[in-house]
Amino acid sequence: MSAPTLREALDALARAAVTAGFAADDAAAEGRLLSAAVAEANPGAYLEWCAQLEIPVSAQEFMDAAVRGRRYRASATPLASQAAASPSAVTTAYLDALEQVCLAAATLGQPGPDALGAASLAAAAQRPRPVFTPAPTAAGSQPNEEEFLAQAPGILADVLGRLADSQQRVQQASRAGLLDLSGLNPHVGGAFPGLSQPGSAPAPAVPAMPATPAAPAVPEAQPVPEAAAEPAEPEKTVEEWLAELDDLTGLAGVKAEIHRQTAILRVDALRTKAGLKSPTITRHLVFTGNPGTGKTTVARLVGGIYKAIGLLSKGQLVEVDRSELVAGYLGQTAIKTSEVAAKAYGGVLFIDEAYSLNGDQYGEEAVNTLVKEMEDHRDDLVVIVAGYPEPMTEFIDNNPGLASRFRTTIEFEDYTDDELRTIFTSMAAKSDYDLGEGCLDEFDRLLALQLRDQTFGNGRYVRNILEAAIGRHAWRLRDITEPTLEQLRSLLPADLTEPEPEPGQPLKAPAGAQPSSPVEFPSASPEE
């Protein structure tokens, strides 16, 4: 089993989207951002990324996509969220295709352990309850876990085996002077040592990369013959969504408030259905708290709960920030904001650090457009704004239209050490990894070194540790031809810590690679 190319994975994603009833352009946008976010730690990844997307070579465009896509390394994309809210054979196929995009992205540039770890957790994040679904065997039955995991060494070998070719191409381009990243931060993932610095002479024009053979046009969805159609899986009930909420670690106050809101809105919906008068109850919410405290996860569950109640038609989550709402000049911002809101119709629009819209006329235009969208689509759109407590209070108070629509604020507390340990164990288990003896002790040691102020990432910090550990685990097994099932599943304490190479000894390159210069694999950039 070999990893697909990114072009192949994106074409398959588009076909799966059309079959599932999603817009192919929306699926392409998701794949573009997700693949960049997974690959950003691989040196030279932007060259292959641009070639596979058949666009002019642009490190800036790659990094812009990577920054916007980092959220999808930890949470489902909008279409994946919608697919999870309406499970069926065709929506599951879309989630499978997203998983292949993650795998393909890890092979871009010079593959390293950071991208492998990012690909693993990003693929799992697309499924609220991650379950790997291998392809049926020739006999039509599902292979057991041992048979499926036995394919992992082949995938890993294919990923690592691309290093020699990609590095050769990168070195050739570097010697030709085609890798000028002036204006970019040279320390972010994908940067190269020795590149021209800001103020140097402009780089020569970049010639077009060798064209990837044009992919066949995405066929229109064909109706499934009635005899071959699979029955749709039953949608989750309110009780099932609330049970998933209750399964989250910690967040006792958040759970109680969501239960209360659910009860109020459920009764209100029943009264309306019965023809009774109902008070005006706002559905929109304010989430306050430090990063990594579960705000996005709970927002996704709110979408599912509201759909199950009958308040929303789809239940998907669309997560954005200021950059995705504000345009370059007045007038265009209103159009851009309306287009984003349209993608959230029937679901939840989640705006992170919403107070970044304060302070200028562009942000004010975006806010005014949001207020209008909330009014025009009040029966099928929920908006959740999130950020630190004090700035969020100021943001709401600055606009009377917001103050009248956001009447419920839910505070997300920081996680305790015990809760972070539980989250770490749960994340590893959901990704089919076992924590070897001493792993939790090493996790405790790393946690004790962290400054626990507003900059601490909470669950995000835990995910970053696990993501890096998964990458080092894969790198540790790279020379083992046929790892055992136990080896494939087991993380060791050493996997949690960045190794310190001996003086003058770079990290060993994969078997078969013959680099002419040391190979370095930068740490994955922290998510914003």
> Highest mean pLDDT: which of 174-178, 190-194, 204-208, 362-366?
362-366
Rounded to an integer, what distance in angstroms lies between the CA atom of residue 146 and that of residue 162? 26
The pLDDT value given to residue 186: 38
pLDDT tens digit string along 21-55? 888 888 999 899 999 999 888 888 889 999 999 89
Count of domains observed in the chain = 1
Could you list the residue range(s) of the whole structural domain that residue 313 is in? 238-247+251-412
Q: Is residue 304 part of a domain?
A: yes
302: which residues sit within 8 A by CB, 6+ positions away?
A: 258, 285, 348, 382, 384
The pLDDT value given to residue 83: 82
Q: Is residue 523 part of a domain?
A: no
Q: Is residue 108 part of a domain?
A: no
Rounded to an integer, what distance in angstroms lies between the CA atom of residue 11 and that of residue 22? 14
Alpha-carbon dihedral sign for residues 371, 377, 378, 382: negative
The pLDDT value given to residue 76: 85
Alpha-carbon dihedral sign for residues 361, 365, 366, 368: positive
Rounded to an integer, what distance in angstroms lies between the CA atom of residue 73 and that of residue 116? 12
What is the pLDDT confidence band of residue 68, given thresholds at 50, 70 and 90?
A: confident
Residue 287 has pLDDT above 60, yes or no: yes
Q: Which residues on neighbouring strands pair with residue 348, listed in sequence order?
A: 317, 382
Q: What CATH number does the domain containing 277 carry?
A: 3.40.50.300
Q: Is residue 156 part of a domain?
A: no
Rounded to an integer, what distance in angstroms lies between the CA atom of residue 2 and that of residue 18? 25
Rounded to an integer, what distance in angstroms lies between the CA atom of residue 342 and that of residue 348? 11
Residue 183 has pLDDT above 60, yes or no: no
Rounded to an integer, what distance in angstroms lies between the CA atom of residue 514 and that of residue 165? 10
- Are 36 and 158 within 8 A, CB to CB? no
Mean pLDDT of the chain: 77
Q: Is residue 233 part of a domain?
A: no
The pLDDT value given to residue 439: 93
Q: Is residue 324 part of a domain?
A: yes
Q: Is residue 203 part of a domain?
A: no
Q: Is residue 342 part of a domain?
A: yes
